[in-house]
Structure 1
Amino acid sequence: MNVSPYLIPAKSMIFEEEIKKSQFITYLAHTPSIEAAKAFVDEIKAKHNDARHNCWAFVAGRPEDSMKWGFSDDGEPSGTAGKPILAQLTGSGVGEITAVVTRYYGGIRLGTGGLVKAYGGGVQQALKLLESIEKKITTQLIVEVDYSLISLTQSIMAQYGAVEIDATYDISAKLTVEIEVLHESDFILTMTNKTGARALISRMS
């Protein structure tokens, strides 16, 4: 399992251009799952149900996870739309993203090379304008400590960027902590060493 952070879209993006009287509208959106990607495609298809084509591709997880890729030429000649769109998405290093390119036909045929350039190029332009943010892969831990160890625990949490998201105080303090998976084992090791193994740490079930 790859636990390193990756980029995702910060917000949606639209890019429009006219090529030989055909209008191309490229939509990019953050879609964290295959279901969300398909829902976004359906949304754009419904919005432009009068268009000749609504071609699309998605990367619905980590950028390199090909199990979560999908694409469609939506009636354009095979290989001229979906694949060029997908190639731009996978080359961008951005994950959890869907691109839909709507085409209103202008009466002039572009040929296969022209179509590849139009669909891929529109997505390339939209990606240049896209704002992205880093998605960190996190996990949640239950940290149980004596009250005397709370300040020490909080300083170790700060050291590893761990965030307290819940706490219950009974015989001991029980903290629910969110932490990057990258830092999880180091955090547990440091907590164990610094508290003399008096901290009970378990993963959220």
Structure 2
Amino acid sequence: MGEEAKRYRVPSRVHRVEQEIQKSRFLTTAAPAPTVEEARAFIARVREEFPDATHNCWAFAVGPPGSTAQVGMSDDGEPHGTAGRPMLTALLHGGVGEVAVVVTRYFGGTLLGKGGLVRAYTACVQQVLESLPTLERVRKVRVAVELEYASVDGVRRMLAAHEAELVAETYAVTVGYQLLLPEHQLEAFHKALLDQTQGEVLFEVLDAEP
């Protein structure tokens, strides 16, 4: 997996833009979608907010930017392939992961034609992504470390440099830590841990985020 899949941009909050195209009013709302369930819940909320709209077309892509493993789309009554598909294509090329978008259209009396609809829905998604507030999503892994008491101070000092967060600790014959750290730091942290403890350490990766 490349570095770009381990660190990527996701929406930090719900964001909305509005534009008029050929007398039709388009409201485009984007939101964080870390899971399919959250994407569908957001879409339902927007549909409830604009029940009188001509169309509430939507698309979502859960996962890193460009990933098609968990996607969805709907034309919501627009001609087949003129809304959901171009919206999803724009999302997948937008450089943002875990995102859902609803384009709410109030028809203004002028027919756009199939090509015009594709251009309009593509432009709506591109416009909302341009101004979308984002934050960095970092894939993390949970690891277990077991070490001698003599190594505790040195190991604790090196945690911050590897962005490692101590989530649990036990003290018995040896010291046990559970740590959460960015996946891209894993190899360097393991090497530093071996150096710091002269190899007197047990290290196990427990799980990684999907």
- Which of the five TM-score ranges fits, normalised by the shorter chain? over 0.9
Does the CA-based 8 Å contact 2:86-2:118 persist in structure 1?
yes
Instruction: Map 1:170-185 onto structure 2 (within 5 A).
Output: 170-185=172-187
| Correspondent of 2:144 among 132, 142, 145 | 142
| Correspondent of 2:121 among 119, 122, 127 | 119
Which residue of 1 is the match for residue 38 of structure 2?
36
Moved more, 60-69 or 25-34: 60-69
* 1:38 Cα deviation after fit: 1.4
Does the CA-based 8 Å contact 2:151-2:196 persist in structure 1?
no
> What is the alpha-carbon distance in structure 2 between the residues aligned to residue 187 and residue 121 of structure 1?
44
Which residue of 2 is the match for residue 7 of structure 1?
9
| Correspondent of 2:165 among 163, 169, 187 | 163
Does the CA-based 8 Å contact 2:53-2:104 persist in structure 1?
yes
> What is the alpha-carbon distance in structure 2 between the residues aligned to residue 94 and residue 53 of structure 1?
25
* 3-state SS of paired residue (1:38): helix
> What is the alpha-carbon distance in structure 2 between the residues aligned to residue 10 and residue 119 of structure 1?
23
* 1:35 Cα deviation after fit: 1.6
> What is the alpha-carbon distance in structure 2 between the residues aligned to residue 68 and residue 203 of structure 1?
26
Moved more, 10-19 or 27-36: 10-19
Give CA-to-partner distance per residue, 1:57-79, whole Å, 9 cap, x none. Answer: 11111112212122111111112
CA-based RMSD of the aligned residues comes to: 1.6
> What is the alpha-carbon distance in structure 2 between the residues aligned to residue 126 and residue 43 of structure 1?
18
Instruction: Map 1:29-178 onto structure 2 (within 5 A).
Output: 29-178=31-180
How many residues of Structure 1 are paired with residues of Structure 2 in the alignment?
205
* 1:123 Cα deviation after fit: 1.4
Which residue of 1 is the match for residue 29 of structure 2?
27
Give CA-to-partner distance per residue, 1:72-123, whole Å, 9 cap, x none. Answer: 1111111211122112211111000001001111222111122112211111
Which residue of 2 is the match for residue 198 of structure 1?
200
TM-score by length of 2: 0.90
Does the CA-based 8 Å contact 2:67-2:92 persist in structure 1?
no
Question: Which structure 2 segments of 5+ residues have no match?
Answer: none
> What is the alpha-carbon distance in structure 1 between the residues aligned to residue 145 and residue 191 of structure 2?
13
| Correspondent of 1:189 among 188, 191, 196 | 191
> What is the alpha-carbon distance in structure 2 between the residues aligned to residue 6 and residue 182 of structure 1?
12
* 1:169 Cα deviation after fit: 2.4
> What is the alpha-carbon distance in structure 2 between the residues aligned to residue 110 and residue 36 of structure 1?
32
* 1:56 Cα deviation after fit: 0.7
* 1:171 Cα deviation after fit: 2.8
